C-alpha cells in the first residue's frame, strides 16, 4: 500500500510540475507558445482549466502525503526479532585494537 501511494505521489508531482510550467505567467511562460494552436477552448478557458488542475493536484498531493505517513509499515514482531539478532551480532564482533602513535623521529628532537 505504501509503495502504491508513493508511486501516485511521484506521478502527481511530475504532472503538477508540468502543469505549472505550461501556465501563462506574467512573462509569457510556455503557454504563450500553445495559445495559437489551442483554438477549440480559448485562452481564458485554458487558463481556468490549468488553474483548477493545479489546485486539484496540489490538494491530491497533500492528501496522498498524509495517507503515506499513515501507511508506513510500523513495528512488527518480525522486525524486533531481526533487531535483536542484529544487536547480538554486533555485540559478538571484536572491537578493533587502538593503534598507538609512533614516537617522534630523531630529526624532530634535534632542533
- pLDDT given at position 43: 63
* Alpha-carbon distances of 82 from 54, 62, 79, 88, 94, rounded to whole Å: 44, 34, 5, 10, 20
- pLDDT given at position 26: 60
- pLDDT given at position 82: 63
Across the chain, which has 111 residues, the per-10-residue mean pLDDT values are: 91 94 67 53 74 93 93 69 73 68 65 53
- pLDDT given at position 95: 62
- Domain spans of the chain, in order of start: 1-20+39-71
DSSP secondary structure, 29-57, as one string: TTHHHHTTT-TTT-HHHHHHHHHHHHHHH
pTM over 0.75: no
Cα–Cα distance for residue pair 3/104, rounded to 1 Å: 58
- pLDDT given at position 60: 95
- pLDDT given at position 8: 95
Amino acid at each position: 500500500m505504501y509503495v502504491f501511494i508513493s508511486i501516485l505521489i511521484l506521478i502527481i508531482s511530475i504532472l503538477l510540475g508540468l502543469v505549472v510550467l505550461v501556465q501563462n505567467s506574467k512573462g509569457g511562460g510556455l503557454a504563450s507558445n500553445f495559445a495559437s494552436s489551442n483554438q477549440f477552448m480559448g485562452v481564458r478557458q485554458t487558463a481556468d482549466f490549468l488553474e483548477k488542475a493545479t489546485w486539484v493536484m496540489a490538494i491530491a498531493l497533500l492528501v496522498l502525503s498524509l495517507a503515506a505517513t499513515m501507511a508506513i509499515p510500523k513495528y512488527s514482531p518480525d522486525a524486533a526479532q531481526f533487531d535483536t539478532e542484529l544487536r547480538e551480532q554486533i555485540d559478538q564482533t571484536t572491537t578493533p585494537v587502538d593503534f598507538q602513535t609512533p614516537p617522534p623521529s630523531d630529526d624532530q628532537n634535534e632542533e
